């Protein structure tokens, strides 16, 4: 086996990325403390053709060298916007007929592996603070919550890992 060179990967330009069809998925990051987590979510959103990221609360915004370190330029390709209050974003997206989904462990959550998104719907998924999770007011204003099934002792994933799992799952299910 030979590793592929950058040229062989057929990477598209930022301009090409902005023009191609995205999956009907938007991300809301609320009160994310780690700049590396924010950058990682941008990079993963680029990989799986996410429409937009909303950065809310204490979540830092580009340009920022620590976000850039993990985003590797994805802050230029993925559309983003800052809101001080994530609930304002949720209310706006509801008016635009988005299905709002918190990624959280709650009573009666839907297991990610049992969820089948529809290409005909628009989704906004919320990731919350690294310690406190998704704010209860946002959970209360979600249509439902998705939970990543976990079977070890921690039942906790880093937000960038959780985002990678969820975004891949949406991308895979929406593009097959």
What was the pLDDT predicted at 175?
95
- Answer whether residue 87 is part of any domain: yes
What was the pLDDT predicted at 6?
84
**Is residue 145 a contact partner of residue 110, using CB atoms and an 8 Å limit?**
yes
Q: What is the pTM of this model?
A: 0.96
DSSP secondary-structure letter at 67? H
What was the pLDDT predicted at 29?
98
pLDDT, one tens digit per residue, over 51-109 is 999 999 999 999 999 999 999 999 999 999 999 999 999 999 999 999 999 999 999 99
- Answer whether residue 137 is part of any domain: yes
**Is residue 134 a contact partner of residue 106, using CB atoms and an 8 Å limit?**
no
- Answer whether residue 12 is part of any domain: no
The per-residue pLDDT of the chain, averaged, comes to 97
First to last CA, the chain: 27
Total domains in the chain come to 1
For residue 142, count other CB atoms closer than 10 A to its CB.
22
Q: How far apart are CA 109 and CA 165, in angstroms?
A: 16
For residue 31, count other CB atoms closer than 10 A to its CB.
19
pLDDT, average across residues 28-44 = 98
CATH number of the structural domain spanning residue 90: 3.40.1280.10
Q: How far apart are CA 118 and CA 170, in angstroms?
A: 9
- Where is average pLDDT lowest: 2-6, 18-22, 48-52? 2-6
User: Is the pLDDT at 176 greater than 90, yes or no?
Assistant: no
- Answer whether residue 15 is part of any domain: no
What was the pLDDT predicted at 15?
96
What was the pLDDT predicted at 7?
86
pLDDT, one tens digit per residue, over 142-152 is 999 999 999 99
The length of the chain in residues reads 176
pLDDT, one tens digit per residue, over 156-167 is 999 999 999 999
Range of the domain at 157: 20-175
């Amino acid at each position: 086996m030979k590793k592929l060179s950058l040229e062989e990967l057929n990477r598209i330009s930022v301009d090409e990325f902005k023009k191609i069809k995205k999956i009907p998925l938007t991300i809301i990051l609320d009160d994310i403390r780690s700049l590396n987590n924010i950058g990682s979510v941008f990079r993963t959103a680029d990989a799986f053709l996410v429409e937009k990221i909303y950065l809310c609360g204490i979540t830092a915004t580009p340009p920022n060298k620590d976000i850039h370190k993990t985003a590797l330029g994805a802050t230029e390709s993925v559309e983003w916007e800052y809101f001080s209050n994530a609930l304002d974003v949720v209310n706006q997206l509801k008016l635009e007929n988005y299905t709002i989904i918190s990624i959280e462990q709650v009573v009666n959550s839907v297991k990610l592996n049992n969820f089948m998104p529809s290409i005909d719907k628009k989704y906004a998924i919320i990731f919350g603070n690294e310690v406190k999770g998704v704010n209860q007011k946002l959970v209360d204003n979600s249509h439902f919550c998705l939970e990543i099934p976990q079977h070890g002792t921690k039942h906790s994933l880093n937000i960038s890992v959780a985002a990678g799992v969820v975004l891949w799952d949406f991308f895979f299910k929406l593009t097959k």
